[in-house]
Amino acid sequence: MNMSRFPWKTTALSAILAISLTACGGAKPDASNSGSAEPASKYPEKPITVVAPSGAGGGWDKTARSLTKILGETKLVGQTMTVENKPGGGGAVYMAEYATKEVKNPYILLVNSPPILINNLKSQGNSPYGYQNTTPLAQLTKDFGAIVVAANSPYNDIQSLMKDMKADPKKLTVAGGSAPGSMDHLIAVLPAYKSGVDPKAVKYVSYDGGGEAIAALLGSNADVIATDASAVGQYLKSGKVKVLAVTSTERLKGDLKDVPTLKESGIDVDFTIWRGVFGPKEMSKDELAYWEKTLKALSEKEEWKKELQANGWESEYRGSADFTKFLGEQEKLIKELLSALGMAK
């Protein structure tokens, strides 16, 4: 049939073909078949704040400032990073604010350490919020507890100290730079508890910071103190103190290389004073992936290793999943100690 004899039929057929081709050409391609991907996340697109839930000069503050400094210097993070101090309640005040924000802000990160667990588990002055109300991003550093006496102390090893403590716990004054039920107190009673001493019977005196606790020891106002291992090297080197044991799993390096661990001394326990970075609980997969990649890269940078050395810290990197698992494990030990002290909720 000659289509030229029916021009209206030719026009109609052309229109149908055009509609069909347009429909086929305009359909969205199947991403699973075509290999196309979603657009890459642009996070972070604006400045980032890292909060230290304490005043200036403390361990959290130093960690936050070292973190932002090296991330900027190495250009691992292209956005401006600032540190904000939010003191109060040993970190509990800001933790409540961070956990209860109606809109979770992935541009505000938080540094913390074992108090995020302790505050959540204590019965008095406790916080209803803990690491479960955040996204743990990474552990970056580790330190350990140290059991320290003055150079003129009659005690030369942890077992002789424990022997006298068993005989009369009230005979000895044990001091630390944190409040009862806080980190130094737990480290102080840890070897006693594991040696069969009722930790509630240990006479613990709290001071405002590790420096004041060491001053009390050197001034004969305390028989023994518990403090950070990284804080006592200079006093040991100058001959002012003896370090009876550290809470690490193996011997430390540097000035404390000859100090035995609790486990070496026959007390089967260890305790890590870690510091890490947290984000809000509702972080997206892209945001979490960004920080996992970035903080892992940071842990491998020479600039970061030098910063750790300058602060007397040791490197220990755990990514988000491993860090979260570790927090659960340490939470069990802290709850056990607080329960023995009658301070667990």
| DSSP states along 220-252 | TS-SEEEEEGGGTHHHHHTTSEEEEEE-SSS--
Does 242 lie in the same domain as 160?
A: yes
Q: pLDDT tens digits for 163-215?
A: 999 999 999 999 999 889 999 999 999 999 999 999 999 999 999 888 899 99
**Segments forming the whole domain that contains residue 323:** 48-142+273-340
Is residue 108 within 8 A of residue 44, CB to CB? The reply is no
Contact (Cβ atoms closer than 8 angstroms) between residue 85 and residue 52 = yes
Q: Are residues 150 and 204 in the same domain?
A: yes
153 and 230, same domain (yes or no): yes
Tell me what pLDDT residue 13 has.
Answer: 41
Percent of the chain with pLDDT over 70: 88
- For residue 12, is it within any domain? no
Q: Are residues 91 and 153 in the same domain?
A: no
Flag whether pLDDT at 30 surpasses 80: no
Residues 189 and 110 in one domain: no
Residue 17 resides in a domain:
no
Q: Do residues 128 and 154 share a domain? A: no
CB-CB neighbours of 223 under 10 Å = 21
Label residue 313 exposed, middle or buried (CB < 10 Å: 0-12, 13-18, 19+).
Answer: buried
Query: DSSP 3-state assignment of 39?
Result: coil
> Is residue 5 in some structural domain?
no
More confident residue, 125 or 94: 94
Given 256, 289, 322, the domain boundary residue is 256
Write down the pLDDT at residue 3: 44
What are the structure tokens assigned to 194, written together? 């594991």
Q: Is 11 a residue whose pLDDT tops 70? A: no
281 touches 110 (CB < 8 A): no
Can you give the C-alpha Rg of the chain in angstroms? Answer: 29
What's the rounded Cα separation, in Å, for the pair 54 and 103?
23
pTM for the whole structure = 0.81
Q: State the DSSP code for 285.
A: H
Say if residue 8's pLDDT is above 60: no
- CA pair distance 233, 246, nearest whole angstrom: 12
Any domain includes 298: yes
Q: How confident is the model at residue 218 (pLDDT cuts 50, 70, 90)?
A: very high
- Cβ neighbors of 330 (< 8 A, separation 6 or more) are 114, 117, 271, 272, 274
| Residues 108 and 183 occupy one common structural domain | no
CATH of the domain at 104: 3.40.190.150
Tell me the CATH number at 223. 3.40.190.10
Number of H helices, E strands in the chain: 12, 10
pLDDT tens digits for 105-148? 999 999 999 999 999 999 876 789 999 999 999 999 999 999 99
312 found inside a domain = yes
Structural domain total, the chain: 2
Same domain, 131 and 151: no
| 27 in a structural domain | no
Q: Are 150 and 131 part of one and the same domain?
A: no
The predicted structure's pLDDT at residue 102: 83
One domain, residues 248 and 155:
yes
Phi, psi of 178 (to 5 degrees): -145, 165
223-260 pLDDT, tens per residue?
999 999 988 999 999 999 999 999 999 999 889 999 99
Taking residues 10-26, report their average pLDDT. Answer: 43
Residue 129 lies in a domain: yes
Place of tokens 């959540």: 120
- Through-space distance between the first and last CA atoms of the chain, rounded to whole angstroms: 93
Q: What's the CA gap between 82 and 11, in Å, rounded?
A: 68
Domain end, chosen from 196, 222, 256, is at: 256
How far is the C-alpha of 79 from the C-alpha of 108, rounded, in Å?
A: 13
d(Cα 123, Cα 135) in Å, to the nearest integer?
A: 24
Distance CA 210, CA 231 (A): 8
Mean pLDDT of 46-53: 97
Looking at the structure, tell me whether residues 153 and 239 fall in a common domain: yes
Contact 122, 89 (CB under 8 A): no
Residues 290 and 247 in one domain: no
Single-letter amino acid, residue 75:
K
Residue 31 lies in a domain: no
**262-290 pLDDT per residue, tens:** 999 999 999 999 999 999 999 999 999 99
Distance CA 120, CA 181 (A): 12
Please name the residues in contact with 329: beta carbons below 8 A apart, sequence gap of 6 or more.
none
